[in-house]
């Protein structure tokens, strides 16, 4: 069961080379399960017992199940579809020294640079094209070894192993071809889309690592892949959402874009997407504004974004007493300054859910001398205030184009989140709660 879940995740990642492909694959999965897609520009006519989803920006999705009777609250998971990468700029080709064609790129999100060198890369994303029916947005994926960011030889940079400060506009541009490749890139995009080059009006294309996921270790205990942050949690959340549900809650699965660059976009966690969706669910089912506020006050969210495992070479970077390891179950993340939203109540609730599911659980806190990043929880809470715990799975090499995690943990997270969706969480103003 552990390895099956891991292989299923790696297959999903292989089909999801960009955030747009992630959401398209989730859309297809939901449609196969009988979910109805809603449009934000049209009136929603929801019914009790119905299953629905809405997409914004082509890169964020919210799916939800309406129970067959009046609901008491919303139970929500939130994860993200994007990962650090290089975005291809407009006027993308650079002819260098008359013999090389490079692509002009810029960094998206905070990344580890060195693993991007000397490995096969490709490009994927979306393009806007002109057709006889108007303008259409279509997905692009070259799906072949196309690009490489070559290192300088050690003979030309003797200090590279002593620490090197990379210049993005000089060192990090991918090599596309020789001088004969000049003018080919957009032609190749056009061939992919079966349109003329002149009919491509805009693109959002990103580089991605072509190395396939692999299971490894003495006992096959680890696996490595691209985009584990955060597709491991996003996939586990959607899988659990489809398998779970209870009749007292509207269960909701959110996958937002742009977490890696601050979430402040129309489809990010700092947008109105979640609040708009929850309010429209409430009003479409004939409930009052006060009933909406009552439901939100009784709601619970799990912000699921991967966490750092203790690193075998850098033991001192981990907190002295909160030291999560791969294959030891989901991680509850705590931070005194509320970079993570977990408090005593929400942490206890998630611990109770893991106990009900019969899976291990561990805790993470940043080393006090090393400030960490933030996640979706506190950002989305600024728009919809509800009980929230920040959770994730322990991994190594976060923000590398090839990350490592434990083969047991995807299954553990699916079990924990399925228990979450199956359980009605009843919270009270005095801080007490019940898992029903």
List, edge to edge, every strand of the sheet that includes 249-256.
36-38, 51-56, 60-65, 249-256, 73-80, 300-304, 387-392, 331-334, 362-365
Structure tokens at 427: 């919270």
Using CA atoms, how far apart are residues 240 and 65, in angstroms rounded to an integer?
A: 13
How many other C-beta atoms can be found within 10 angstroms of the C-beta atom of residue 207?
Answer: 26
User: Tell me, which fold does domain 85-209 have in CATH?
Assistant: Aminopeptidase i, Domain 2 (2.30.250)
When comparing pLDDT for 157 and 187, which is higher?
Answer: 187
In this model, does residue 216 exceed pLDDT 80? Answer: yes
Strand partners, 124: 141, 206
Query: Which segment of 11-15, 52-56, 333-337, 357-361 scores lowest on mean pLDDT?
Result: 333-337
In this model, does residue 372 exceed pLDDT 80? Answer: no
Query: Which segment of 3-7, 144-148, 334-338, 358-362 scores lowest on mean pLDDT?
Result: 334-338
Average pLDDT over the chain, rounded to an integer = 95
pLDDT in tens, 121-143: 999 999 999 988 899 999 999 99
pLDDT in tens, 417-428: 999 999 999 988
Instruction: Note the pLDDT of residue 132.
Output: 84
Give the residue carrying structure tokens 């072509």: 210
Identify the helix (H) or strand (E) that includes residue 250. strand 249-256
- In percent, the amount of the chain with pLDDT more than 90 equals 91
Phi-psi region of 365 (alpha: psi -120 to 50; beta: other; left: phi over 0): beta
- For the segment 89-115, the average pLDDT, to the nearest whole number, is 97
Structural domain spans, the chain:
2-83+226-435, 85-209
Using CA atoms, how far apart are residues 417 and 54, in angstroms rounded to an integer?
A: 21
In this model, does residue 374 exceed pLDDT 90? Answer: no
Domain 2-83+226-435 in CATH 3.40.630.10? The answer is yes
- For the segment 309-329, the average pLDDT, to the nearest whole number, is 97
Query: Which segment of 18-22, 281-285, 381-385 scores lowest on mean pLDDT?
Result: 381-385
Using CA atoms, how far apart are residues 320 and 241, in angstroms rounded to an integer?
A: 35
Using CA atoms, how far apart are residues 165 and 159, in angstroms rounded to an integer?
A: 10
Of 16, 46, 51, 25, nearest to 241 by C-alpha is: 51
């Amino acid at each position: 069961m552990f390895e099956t879940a891991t292989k299923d995740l790696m297959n999903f990642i292989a089909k999801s080379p960009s955030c747009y492909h992630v959401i398209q694959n989730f859309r297809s999965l939901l449609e196969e399960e009988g979910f109805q897609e809603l449009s934000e520009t049209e009136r929603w006519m929801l019914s009790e017992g119905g299953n629905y989803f809405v997409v914004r920006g082509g890169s964020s999705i919210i799916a939800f199940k309406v129970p067959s009777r009046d609901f008491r609250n919303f139970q929500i998971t939130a994860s993200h579809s994007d990962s650090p990468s290089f975005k291809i700029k407009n006027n993308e080709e650079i002819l260098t020294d008359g013999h090389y064609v490079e692509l002009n790129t810029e960094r998206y999100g905070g990344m580890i640079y060195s693993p991007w060198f000397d490995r096969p890369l490709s490009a994927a994303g979306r393009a806007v094209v002109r057709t006889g029916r108007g303008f259409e947005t279509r997905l692009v994926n070259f799906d072949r070894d196309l690009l490489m960011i070559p290192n300088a030889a050690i003979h030309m940079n003797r200090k590279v192993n002593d620490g090197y400060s990379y210049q993005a506009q000089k060192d990090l541009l991918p090599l596309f071809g020789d001088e004969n490749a000049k003018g080919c890139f957009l032609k190749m995009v056009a061939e992919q889309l079966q349109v003329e080059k002149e009919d491509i009006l805009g693109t959002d294309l990103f580089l991605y690592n072509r190395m396939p996921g692999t299971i490894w270790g003495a006992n096959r205990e680890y696996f490595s892949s691209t985009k584990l942050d955060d597709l491991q949690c996003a996939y586990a959340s959607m899988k659990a959402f489809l398998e779970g549900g209870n009749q007292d809650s509207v269960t909701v699965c959110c996958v937002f874009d742009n977490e890696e660059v601050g979430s402040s976009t129309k489809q990010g966690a700092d947008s109105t997407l979640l609040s708009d969706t929850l309010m429209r669910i409430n009003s479409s089912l004939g409930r009052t504004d006060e009933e909406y506020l009552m439901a939100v006050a009784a709601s619970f969210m799990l912000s699921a974004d991967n966490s750092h495992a203790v690193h075998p070479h850098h033991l001192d970077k981990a907190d002295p007493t909160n030291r999560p390891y791969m294959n030891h179950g989901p991680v509850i993340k705590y931070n005194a300054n509320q970079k993570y939203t977990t408090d005593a109540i929400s942490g206890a609730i998630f611990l109770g859910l893991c106990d009900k599911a019969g899976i291990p659980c561990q805790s993470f806190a940043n080393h006090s001398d090393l400030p960490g990043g933030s996640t979706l929880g506190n950002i989305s809470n600024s728009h919809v205030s509800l009980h929230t715990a920040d959770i994730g799975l322990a991994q190594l090499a976060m923000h590398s184009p090839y990350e490592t995690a434990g083969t047991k943990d995807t299954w553990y997270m699916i079990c924990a989140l399925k228990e979450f969706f199956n359980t009605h969480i009843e919270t009270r103003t005095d801080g007490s709660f019940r898992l029903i």
